[in-house]
Each structure stands twice: as C-alpha cells, then as structure tokens.
Amino acid sequence: MKKLVVLIAVTLGFYGCELSQVAKQDNLNSADSMDQSTGELSPKATWLQIGGGALTSGATSDLSMDIYNNEPYVAYADFSNSFRLQVKKCVGGTSCTSWTGLGANISANEAYDISLAVWNGTPFVVYRELVTVNPLVFSPKVKYYNGTSWLDLGNIASLVGANVSFDWYPTIAVEDGTVFIVAKNRVMSYDGSNWSYIGGAIPGCNGYPIIKVHNTGTDLIPFVAFIDSTEHYNASVVYYNDVTNTWDYLGNKGFSSVTDPWQGIGSLAFELSSDGTPYVFFAGMYDSSIGKSSVLRYDDILNDWVNVGTPANYFQNIALSHTDVTIGSDNSVYVAYHYQGNSLVTVQKSLYGTGAWSSLGTVSGSWGNYTNICLDSNNVPFVAYENHSSSPNSYVKKYQ
C-alpha cells in the first residue's frame, strides 16, 4: 500500500474471569525485576512512580499512553474538569521528573474512548465528544498539538458526519507521519487535505477495533483487531490488501473460539512487533474457569495463531480484564492486566516470546483500571492506570 498521510482505528479493554494460579503469580511477584543486560530476573528493581507525583488528583477514564524519546504522554478524561480531555507529558528525559499539561480544555465537553499516538514529538488524539444527553449525540474529533494549541486534523465530519453514535469507538495509529484511525467497521486516512476510507467495511467490526500499522520500508500496511460480532464476539484480525482493495483475515475468523465458541471475549489488546508480526492478548467475557484468556502470535507459515511463552495456555485459568500487550525490540512480550483475584494491576513477561512467563510484580496498590503498558527505547516498561479507590487518582509507574 502506498504511503498515506494520516489514518485512524479503535481500542478495547473489558471483562475477564476467574481466580486461580494466584499463588503461582504471587511467588514471582513484588521485588523481582529484570536485568536489562541479561534479560534475567533479579531482585534489584520494582515499580516506582514517575513524574514527581500522581498523574491526576482525581478520577479519570479512558486513559491512553504512548512514549516518544523515552518520555511518556498520557491522554485521559478528567473527572475534576467535567470529564474533558486532558493530555500530559512527563518531562526530564529518562528521569521523567515532572508532569506538564499540553494545552487546556482540549474538548469543550465530555470526551469518550480517547486514543493517543505520538509521532516525532507531535501528539495526535481521536475521541468522541458529547453534544447532548437527550437525545444522546456525540461528535467525532481528531486533533493534534502544534506545540502551543490543539488543532483539528482536517474535517473528519466531512466523511463520517457531524454526529456519531455512542458506539463510535475510535483508535489511532501514526506511522511515518501517516495517521490512521478505525471506528466501528471503517478505517480512514487523511491525505493532508481530505479524509477518505481505506477499503470497504469490515464485517463484524462494530465494537472495539484496534489499529496498528507496519512500515515495510516501502509500504504502510494497516492491521485491525476486533471483537467479531459475526463470530459470537470472538477475536478476528484483518490486514489491508492493496492489490485487491480488501480486508483479508489472518488465520480463522473468530480464532479465540477454540476453547469455547459460545463464550466471546470481553477484553482485547493488540500489537505488532518490529517485523510486523501480530500479537493479541484477550480475556473471556464471562467465566475464566473454562480457559479463555490467552496471549497468541500469528504464524504466517501455519496461517494460524499460536501460543506465546511457556507453559502453553498459561493465562487460560487466570481471572483477568483490562488487558494490554507490548513487544520489545528483542521480541520479548510484556502483558499488563487487572488481576481479578486481588483487583491489582499485574505485569508478566516472556523472554523473546518463547521463554517461561515470569512476573514483574504488581503495579497498583489498590484496584487498577484502564491499564496501559509501553516500553521505552531500552525496553523498560511503563504502566499507566487509574487507581480506583475511595480517593481515586491515576499514576504512571516505571520498572526500575
């Protein structure tokens, strides 16, 4: 596919399942850390708060994090400001000593389903903004920060309409200066002047799609993972075939149905490795005791999804939700999730994607939601989450 200039998509994190293997996890928890030079666990690091304090002093929702030049950026809906969109950057290089706000009152009203991406130091956001409550009406928004203020990225309403429904769940990806978004069942791009669709509608992609883009050096190839309403709400992944102008499936449609085709998934995370290999991390919608949660990688030789890490199916009986996944430059796989056994945010790693799953400890001190995990250029993990307690606030922590 020829290089475009800007595109968009949607994300998800929902509900998981049961509570077993907690003792196994706890035995690996807390003080264990990873020696970055050897890739081995060592008892010399833990999760430490960055930015000189909490990200927020009140409740938040729809957290979305990205890292550029080893500095985290976080977008969120701020309860203390009527759930308007806020974006902050942690400054101070790798030390991340303080949080600074990027602009103010980015949205005029409540912001929902926020997705953030940073390219070459420029943050981009997509979200839907409340217009009226009765009737329930939202407007689509895509903006970027020019260093002093937030500006509309073209006129997205010219393509999708001035108003969108409550289930317009967008996510965004930016690669080589091109912005991609997906919302509902359509992927869109911006050519510097106008928004346009890429390919046709993706069947069953009506809920929470996630977009990622692989740069081959000559082409930008968008991939979309989603909860497929045509496959009992199981996971499907497609990529854009620019020869046929179609969205083609990777492996089977609804491939998460292997364990139980009738129980869909309620939480889905998606990422590409540097070579374009897709990874997913999902949790069952209802009952984890039937073994639904998995971390899988697409094998293009087998044209199938295979287990990541050992033992195989490690997560199947772990009660979890709010999943997220990221891939290191060495193909090590890091996952973060809300563990329902104790309601804490937990992180695990599989070295090179083939090694045994090992815990990097619990991140939150109490109930954690809206889990995000990213890596800096040294493969050091950062996790953003909302601390959902009687005095809620949000944090970003670094494994150091």
User: What HEC string does 346-373 produce?
Assistant: EEEEEHHHCCEEEEEEECCCCCEEEEEE
Q: What are phi and psi of 219, to 5 degrees?
A: -130, 155
- The separation between the first and the last C-alpha atoms of the chain, rounded to the nearest angstrom, is 40
Is residue 234 domain-resident? yes
CATH at residue 210: 2.130.10
Is 85 among the domain residues? no
204: domain range? 7-56+174-399
Asked whether 54 and 42 are in contact (CB, 8 A), the reply is no
Dihedral-angle region of residue 96 (phi above 0 means left; psi in -120 to 50 means alpha; beta otherwise): left
| CA 97 to centroid of chain Cα atoms | 25
What pTM value is reported for the model? Answer: 0.88
Going from the first residue of the chain to its last (400 residues), give the mean pLDDT of each consecutive group of 10, the final group possibly shorter: 39 30 31 40 72 83 94 93 94 87 93 97 97 95 97 97 95 95 96 93 93 96 96 95 97 83 85 98 71 89 96 87 95 93 91 95 84 95 84 86
Q: Does the residue 318 lie in any domain?
A: yes
SS3 label, residue 164? strand
What whole-number distance in Å separates Cα of residue 215 and Cα of residue 314?
Answer: 31
Question: Total domain count for the chain?
Answer: 1
Distance CA 178, CA 181 (A): 10
User: What pLDDT shows up at residue 104?
Assistant: 84
Q: What is the pLDDT of residue 211?
A: 98
**C-beta separation of 239 from 221 below 8 A:** yes
- Give the per-residue pLDDT at 295: 96
CB proximity list for 226: less than 8 A, separation 6 or greater: 10, 202, 204, 205, 207, 208, 209, 210, 235, 236, 237, 268
> Residue 102's beta-bridge partner residues?
none
DSSP 225: E
Let me know if residue 153 belongs to a domain: no
Q: Decide if 210 is inside a domain.
A: yes
**Do the strands 195-198 and 210-215 form a parallel or antiparallel pair, or are they unpaired?**
unpaired
In this structure, what token pair is assigned to residue 323? Answer: 């999943």
Assigned domain for 80 exists: no
Q: Is the residue at 296 inside a domain? A: yes
Report yes or no: 169 and 183 within 8 Å, Cβ to Cβ.
yes
Is there a domain that residue 257 lies in? yes
